[in-house]
Structure 1
Amino acid sequence: MEKSLLSLPLALAAYPIHVANGLKEYATTIRRYYPNGRFRRTDLLCLWAYLTRDPYTICERFLKSFPDDQVQKMYGESFFTTLEKVADTIKLDSKDVVYDLGCGRGRSVFWFNAMFGCRAVGIEINPVFVTQARRIQKSQNIDEVEFVLADLMDADYSDATVIYLYGTAFSDTAIVKLVEHFATLRPGTRVVSVSYSLIPYTDVPMFELEQKISGKFLWGETDIYIQRKL
C-alpha cells in the first residue's frame, strides 16, 4: 500500500503523533462534515484521485526546480475544524468570495463552498492538482468553485472578500513579494495568514489586525492572524 487513506507520506510513519492527529481529524471530518452530501462526494473523489498518488511527492517533485525563496515546497492541508474556527471568527457567509492560496488538491475550496454557499477560488501553481480538481468540479456540476493555475504572486484577487494563506513555510522574501501584490486588494478584504502576521512585512500601513486565534494542523498548533486591508 503506497500511502494511507489520508494521503500521508510513508515518511510520517516514523512520527506516530502526526498519524494519530491525521486519523482523528479525518474521523471528525466524517462525523461533522460528511452529512453535507455535496462536500462528502467531492472530498471522497479528492481522496480517491490520489489513492495511489501521494500529493506530498507530487508537490515535492514539481517544485524541485523552483528557487527556495519563491515557493513553499512543503505540502500541507488545513484541518477542516481549523477552517471552521476561522470561518466562524470572520462570520463567513454566502456573499463572500474566498481565495485559498496554494490550494493543493482543492479539498478546502470544496469545503468552503459546500459548507457556506460562498464562491470559492483555489490558486495553485501545480497543474496536476488543478487538472484533477477541475475534473471533480465538472463531474459534480459545481458552478461556484473555480481552480486557477497561477503563481500566487501574479494572481488576480480583485473580487476577493477573504483570502486564506497557509504559507507557514514561505521564506521572508516570498512573503514580502506577496504582500506587495496585496497592495491591490480592495479595502476591507480580510487576509487570514497562518503562523505569522503580514503587518511586519509592510513598509507603510496596509493592514489592521482584527483578531488572532489558534488553530490545529497535522504538525501541531499555531497562531492564525486575521487582518483587514486598509
Structure 2
Amino acid sequence: MKNKPTYSIDSVDHALRLAVLLQQEGPLGVTEAARRLGVARSTAHRLLTMLVYRDFAEQDDDRRYAAGPVMRSFNGVEPVTHLRSIALPHLRTLVERTGESANVMVLLGTQVQMVATVECAHILRVGDREGRILPAHLASGGRAVLARFSRAELDARYADESRTGVSREAVERVVRQTRRRGFAINDQGTEAGLTAVGHAVGDTRSTPAAALSIAMPTARYHRRMLPELAAALTAAAHAIERDLHASTDDAGVARARR
C-alpha cells in the first residue's frame, strides 16, 4: 500500500494523474478532465496545456486531448526494454572498439531519452546518462533519427514552433548536415565539454525509433577520429538491427507453433 507523501505537490500530482488518464482511458475534454481531477475548469486547461507543451498530450481536431508522443512511445515498456537488452552487448563492444562511452536512446516526440549507457574506463569520461532527456535536434542520436524522417514526419513534430520552441529552419539545417555526413555530430550542443557522434538504428518504421551515440570529453575529440567512430557506430547499429530482426522472427515462429 502506498501512502501519499507528506509534502506532496498537488499540481504535479494532478498532471501525472491526467497523463495516466489520457494514456489508459483515451481522449478527454477540458470539462471532463476537471471533473475527474476535482479541480476548476481553468486549472484543468492549464494542466492540459503544459502536457501538450511537453508532448505528453496533444489536441484532437474536435479540441479534445489525447495521449501525446511521449505517452504513446511508452504505452508499453516492452519494446524499450527489449531494445535495451539487445543493445547492451553491442554497446560494450562499441566501448571496447572506440575507448569511449556509448549510449542507446529512443525518440519521444521532439526529444530523446537515454535508455542505456556503457561507460569507458578513462578517468576523464562521459558518465552514465541513462534516463536523461534531451532535445532531439541537439542530441547526436536524435539528429541521426530525424535525418531519416520524411518532410511530413518532421512537420508532424515541428510544424508548431510556438509549442516546440524550435524553429523549423533549425531542424531542416540539422537534417541536411546529418544527411550529407551520413552520421550526426553534437559538439557541445547539449553540454559544455561534451562531444558525441550518433547513428540511427533501424528505419523510420522502427518502434521505438532509436539511435546509438559515442560520447567523449571535447578535450579528447578531433575531427580525424570521425571515420573510425562512424564505422564503429555503423557496425554496431547493423548488429543491433540484425539481432532485433532475429528476435522478432523467433517470436513469430514460437507463436506459430502454439
TM-score, scaled relative to structure 1? 0.28
- The answer to which structure, 1 or 2, has the higher relative contact order (CA under 8 A, 6+ apart) is 1
Comparing both structures, which one devotes a greater share of its residues to helix?
2
- Determine which structure has more spread, i.e. the larger CA radius of gyration: 2
